[in-house]
Amino acid sequence: MAYWLFKSEPNAWSWEDQKRKGEAGEEWTGVRNYQARNNMREMKIGDLGFFYHSVKETSVVGVVEVCNTVHPDSTTDDPRWECVDIRAVADIPRPVTLADIKANPRLSDMVLVNNSRLSVQPVSEQEWREICRMGGLKEAPKSA
Protein backbone atom coordinates (compact mmCIF):
# COMPACT_ATOMS: atom_id res chain seq x y z
CA MET A 1 0.00 0.00 0.00
CA ALA A 2 1.65 3.21 -1.19
CA TYR A 3 0.79 6.90 -1.13
CA TRP A 4 1.00 9.41 -3.96
CA LEU A 5 0.27 12.96 -4.94
CA PHE A 6 -1.48 13.99 -8.16
CA LYS A 7 -1.10 17.54 -9.33
CA SER A 8 -3.58 19.33 -11.52
CA GLU A 9 -4.21 22.86 -12.58
CA PRO A 10 -7.85 23.44 -11.60
CA ASN A 11 -8.59 25.20 -14.89
CA ALA A 12 -7.67 22.02 -16.73
CA TRP A 13 -9.06 19.40 -14.33
CA SER A 14 -10.25 20.31 -10.87
CA TRP A 15 -11.18 18.42 -7.74
CA GLU A 16 -14.81 19.26 -8.53
CA ASP A 17 -14.41 17.64 -11.94
CA GLN A 18 -12.87 14.61 -10.30
CA LYS A 19 -15.67 14.28 -7.75
CA ARG A 20 -18.27 14.54 -10.50
CA LYS A 21 -16.87 11.28 -11.89
CA GLY A 22 -17.82 9.54 -8.66
CA GLU A 23 -17.12 5.89 -7.99
CA ALA A 24 -16.25 5.13 -11.59
CA GLY A 25 -13.26 7.44 -11.45
CA GLU A 26 -11.38 8.79 -14.42
CA GLU A 27 -8.19 8.25 -16.34
CA TRP A 28 -5.32 10.46 -15.17
CA THR A 29 -4.39 11.44 -18.70
CA GLY A 30 -1.93 13.91 -20.09
CA VAL A 31 1.23 12.95 -18.26
CA ARG A 32 4.14 13.42 -20.67
CA ASN A 33 7.01 12.97 -18.29
CA TYR A 34 8.89 9.73 -17.77
CA GLN A 35 9.35 10.10 -14.04
CA ALA A 36 5.67 10.76 -13.47
CA ARG A 37 4.73 7.87 -15.75
CA ASN A 38 7.11 5.55 -13.96
CA ASN A 39 5.44 6.46 -10.68
CA MET A 40 2.08 5.48 -12.15
CA ARG A 41 3.54 2.16 -13.25
CA GLU A 42 4.26 1.45 -9.60
CA MET A 43 0.68 2.02 -8.48
CA LYS A 44 -1.61 -0.72 -7.29
CA ILE A 45 -5.38 -0.75 -6.96
CA GLY A 46 -6.26 0.64 -3.55
CA ASP A 47 -3.24 2.94 -3.27
CA LEU A 48 -4.25 6.36 -1.96
CA GLY A 49 -3.21 9.78 -3.18
CA PHE A 50 -3.61 13.45 -2.51
CA PHE A 51 -5.25 15.65 -5.12
CA TYR A 52 -3.29 18.90 -5.35
CA HIS A 53 -4.38 22.09 -7.07
CA SER A 54 -1.39 23.80 -8.65
CA VAL A 55 -0.85 27.39 -9.83
CA LYS A 56 -3.84 29.22 -8.39
CA GLU A 57 -4.70 27.52 -5.14
CA THR A 58 -1.52 25.56 -4.48
CA SER A 59 -3.16 23.29 -1.95
CA VAL A 60 -4.02 19.71 -1.20
CA VAL A 61 -7.79 19.55 -1.53
CA GLY A 62 -8.78 15.89 -1.70
CA VAL A 63 -8.01 12.22 -1.30
CA VAL A 64 -8.20 9.83 -4.22
CA GLU A 65 -7.83 6.10 -4.66
CA VAL A 66 -6.20 4.25 -7.53
CA CYS A 67 -8.99 2.18 -9.10
CA ASN A 68 -7.25 0.88 -12.21
CA THR A 69 -3.61 0.05 -12.80
CA VAL A 70 -1.55 1.52 -15.60
CA HIS A 71 -2.80 1.28 -19.20
CA PRO A 72 -2.25 3.27 -22.41
CA ASP A 73 -3.22 6.95 -22.23
CA SER A 74 -6.26 7.26 -24.48
CA THR A 75 -5.47 10.89 -25.30
CA THR A 76 -2.41 10.01 -27.39
CA ASP A 77 -1.28 7.43 -29.91
CA ASP A 78 2.25 7.62 -28.57
CA PRO A 79 2.79 4.24 -26.90
CA ARG A 80 5.23 5.72 -24.40
CA TRP A 81 2.48 7.38 -22.40
CA GLU A 82 0.37 5.48 -19.93
CA CYS A 83 -1.90 6.35 -17.05
CA VAL A 84 -3.89 4.94 -14.14
CA ASP A 85 -7.50 5.62 -13.14
CA ILE A 86 -8.32 7.36 -9.89
CA ARG A 87 -11.53 8.15 -8.04
CA ALA A 88 -12.37 10.74 -5.42
CA VAL A 89 -12.59 9.35 -1.88
CA ALA A 90 -12.80 12.30 0.51
CA ASP A 91 -12.55 16.06 0.76
CA ILE A 92 -9.81 17.59 2.85
CA PRO A 93 -11.85 19.52 5.44
CA ARG A 94 -9.23 22.27 5.66
CA PRO A 95 -7.15 22.37 2.45
CA VAL A 96 -3.44 22.25 3.20
CA THR A 97 -1.60 24.98 1.32
CA LEU A 98 1.88 24.78 -0.13
CA ALA A 99 2.87 27.51 2.34
CA ASP A 100 1.66 25.31 5.20
CA ILE A 101 3.65 22.40 3.86
CA LYS A 102 6.80 24.47 3.42
CA ALA A 103 6.42 25.83 6.93
CA ASN A 104 6.30 22.35 8.46
CA PRO A 105 9.78 20.94 9.11
CA ARG A 106 8.37 17.41 9.12
CA LEU A 107 7.53 17.89 5.44
CA SER A 108 10.82 19.41 4.32
CA ASP A 109 11.73 16.30 2.32
CA MET A 110 8.51 16.19 0.33
CA VAL A 111 8.91 15.98 -3.42
CA LEU A 112 6.37 18.77 -3.68
CA VAL A 113 8.82 21.07 -1.91
CA ASN A 114 11.98 19.89 -3.62
CA ASN A 115 10.83 19.10 -7.15
CA SER A 116 7.83 21.26 -7.75
CA ARG A 117 7.53 20.29 -11.39
CA LEU A 118 6.93 16.59 -10.97
CA SER A 119 3.21 16.10 -11.52
CA VAL A 120 2.81 12.59 -10.10
CA GLN A 121 4.93 11.94 -7.06
CA PRO A 122 5.37 9.53 -4.16
CA VAL A 123 4.39 10.52 -0.60
CA SER A 124 5.82 8.77 2.45
CA GLU A 125 3.55 7.32 5.11
CA GLN A 126 4.74 9.92 7.62
CA GLU A 127 4.05 12.74 5.17
CA TRP A 128 0.67 11.23 4.42
CA ARG A 129 -0.36 11.16 8.07
CA GLU A 130 0.98 14.63 8.76
CA ILE A 131 -0.97 16.22 5.90
CA CYS A 132 -4.14 14.32 6.83
CA ARG A 133 -3.74 15.70 10.35
CA MET A 134 -3.13 19.26 9.13
CA GLY A 135 -6.11 19.01 6.80
CA GLY A 136 -8.47 18.03 9.58
CA LEU A 137 -8.99 14.41 8.61
CA LYS A 138 -9.38 12.53 11.87
CA GLU A 139 -7.93 9.43 10.33
CA ALA A 140 -6.45 8.77 6.96
CA PRO A 141 -9.20 7.33 4.76
CA LYS A 142 -9.06 3.61 4.16
CA SER A 143 -9.28 2.32 0.65
CA ALA A 144 -12.32 0.30 -0.32
- Chain residues that interact with DNA, rule: CB under 7 A: 7, 9, 32-35, 54-55, 58, 98-99, 102, 112, 115-119
CB of 129 to DNA, least distance (A): 21
Closest listed residue to residue 65, CA positions, set 4, 20, 119: 4
The CA distance from 25 to 19, in Å, is: 8
CB of 23 to DNA, least distance (A): 27
- Residue number, 7 or 87, with CB nearest to DNA: 7
Q: What is the DSSP secondary structure assignment for residue 51, as one 8-state letter?
A: E
CB of 98 to DNA, least distance (A): 5
- Residue number, 55 or 144, with CB nearest to DNA: 55
CB of 95 to DNA, least distance (A): 13
- Cβ-Cβ contacts under 8 Å for 8 (sequence gap 6 or more): 14, 51, 52, 53, 54, 119
First-to-last C-alpha distance (Å) of the chain: 12
Closest listed residue to residue 69, CA positions, set 101, 90, 46, 92: 46
- Residue number, 79 or 139, with CB nearest to DNA: 79
- Residue number, 34 or 46, with CB nearest to DNA: 34
